Amino acid sequence: MYNSFMRNNFENDLISLDKIGIVYNSNSNGYENAVETIKCELSRHNINFVVNPIDNMDNSVTLALVVGGDGTLLRAARYYASFGTAVFGINMGRLGFLSQSSVDEISSSIKQILDGQYNCEERLMLSANPGRLSALNDIVIKSESFSRTARLFVAINGNNVCDYLADGLIISTPTGSTAYNISAGGPILVPRLNAFIIVPICPHSLNARPLVIPSNEKIVITSADNSKRLKIAADGQNLYSVPENTPITIRKHRNRAKILMLNDKSFYSVLKEKLYWGMTNSKK
């Protein structure tokens, strides 16, 4: 039987295993088998657990094992950030960049967690107002009519910085730098950096480039055309229609998401394994 606290070898943090939550997305094919495998492994080590769907998470758990794709993990991470609870992803989707385990690796991954072979990383999050939205990956701003371009003014700490004519803007965290940001031509940031990325989507100017700024900056975005309403998307999941003549304020969220990372799967190894970073086609 394992102790109820397991030591993090990197930071000597203690993560309680008194009550582990198994969170699943019922829309993920094969989630039942994954959940059963996790239950068997935890029961074998006499670990207390509860099982909940993503729509009804338990805030009393001390660690959440999340079964699903990146979208499921993002939703769980945002929710548990309010309670300081770490999440660990078991991928049932296509890419699963944030997840540390596949279904075939469940047994070995749980053993590593029980043995303390992990690092609990705190990840920056974004908040956006109006709408009181939170995001672990990114905030995306577009015209309410998504087929139209928008002219957007960006001010940072009260200084007018950019005037974009584009399909929209992405404000990304380092965690989200491998998501929509990279597709729009933004840079990849190591997750532990305290910075955000501002990236125009399909800008109508060759001198419109991504901008990396410190995470303590205050970003205010306004529309040049007051008759056009804007829409905000947080992590591609939560949408909010911005009233006319209303500026959008984006800043660092007061909470940080906690992601459990296995020692043998660094950010750089995952970058190479899942995005084939720096590899020629012949080496894939």
Q: Give catalytic residue positions.
A: 70
Cα separations in angstroms, 244 against 167, 229, 230, 231? 18, 5, 8, 11
- CA pair distance 109, 133, nearest whole angstrom: 32
- CA pair distance 169, 184, nearest whole angstrom: 10
- CA pair distance 276, 200, nearest whole angstrom: 25
Assign 21 to helix, strand or coil: strand
Comparing C-alpha atoms, which of 182, 175, 47 is closest to residue 113?
Answer: 47
Assign 274 to helix, strand or coil: helix
Comparing C-alpha atoms, which of 122, 113, 87 is closest to residue 8?
Answer: 113
- CA pair distance 77, 263, nearest whole angstrom: 20
How many whole angstroms from its chain centre is CA 167? 23
Cα separations in angstroms, 30 against 18, 33, 68, 167? 27, 6, 10, 37
